[in-house]
Amino acid sequence: MKQKIIVLLCIVSACVCVQSQDIIVLLTGEELQVKVTKVGLNEIEYKKWTNQDGPVYTANTKEVFMIKYQNGEKDVFATNAASFVEANEPENEESENMNIANDLPYIYRMGNTYQCEDIKLKGKAYEEYLYNNCTAAYMQYKSGKTVADYGWGLLVTGLIIDLVSTIGIFTSGSSYYLIPSYVGGALEIACIPTLIVGYTRMHRSADTYNTSCANKKQAYWSFGKQQLGTGLALHF
């Protein structure tokens, strides 16, 4: 009886170990089963999962597409996304059609909400759906989200600088505070095109999904905010 319990515990421990590893996905599509110890700007340090007491290895971030952590979180290197998609594209039209031949429904965009059959997707739910079903659309959405985050960062930074400058002008009366106020205003202006580019990429991920990954190509309607205003759009 004790031997059976020990064997059972070993099996359970092995299953837990298999499910709790980090995975580094290279641009070539190769997956490395590792234990990530450090993620830097230029290098990722890791140990082989099968030899965690062994030496520390490094991978250049320019060669990495994504890190899947054992807790389910992911780090996607957006700057490498295009290279990853290009490197993993099918070699011919026949194989490409085989990959697209999924029974995936069309997505219709209504503002910032995406309708997929009877399900409404928004924000994180929409991003996860693309991640699980259409790599090209996910990469486009992720790229746009990164740009949009930069835009919001510019806006917040500009507002903070403006606030500090205004307080300085009223409390000291010094004209030196006008210079940072100009900087804050410039950042606020710069955020506008950045946000437009970011959200346009995010919204167009639905078009990429419908064109590349849905079960058939057809014209469809969408209603929501466009670049020049709110209106009804026909997509081909």
116 three-class SS: strand
Q: Can you give the C-alpha Rg of the chain in angstroms?
A: 24
Q: What single-letter DSSP state applies at residue 106?
A: P
Residue-wise pLDDT for 27-52, tens only, equals 887 889 999 999 888 899 999 988 88
Residues 173 and 121 in one domain: yes
Is pLDDT of 173 > 80?
A: no
Residue ending a domain, among 51, 82, 113, is: 82
Q: Is residue 88 part of a domain?
A: no
Task: State the first-to-last Cα distance of the chain, in angstroms, to the nearest integer.
Answer: 67
Token pair of 220, please? 């469809």
One-letter amino acid of 7: V
Mean pLDDT score, 119-137: 85
219 three-class SS: coil
Residues 18 and 134 in one domain: no
pTM value? 0.49
- Residues paired with residue 107 on neighbouring β-strands, in sequence order: 116
Q: How confident is the model at residue 100 (pLDDT cuts 50, 70, 90)?
A: very low
Query: Are the C-beta atoms of residues 213 and 132 closer than 8 Å to each other?
Result: no
Min mean pLDDT across 4-13, 113-122, 131-140, 204-213 is at 4-13
Q: ∠ at Cα 186 (169, 143), nearest 5°?
A: 135
Distance CA 203, CA 51 (A): 44
Q: Provide the phi-psi class of 104: left if phi over 0, else alpha when psi is between -120 and 50, else beta.
A: beta
Q: Is residue 93 part of a domain?
A: no
Q: Is residue 89 part of a domain?
A: no
Q: Is residue 177 part of a domain?
A: yes
pLDDT of 56 reads: 92
Distance CA 106, CA 117 (A): 7
Distance CA 166, CA 169 (A): 5
Mean pLDDT score, 213-223: 55
Can you give the residue range of the structural domain that contains 16? Answer: 2-82
Residues 69 and 163 in one domain: no
Q: Give me the residue label for tokens 């202006």.
A: 189
Query: Higher-confidence residue: 205 or 19?
Result: 205
Q: Is residue 136 part of a domain?
A: yes
**CATH number of the domain enclosing 64:** 2.30.30.100
**Alpha-carbon 71 to chain mean position:** 17
- Structural domain total, the chain: 2
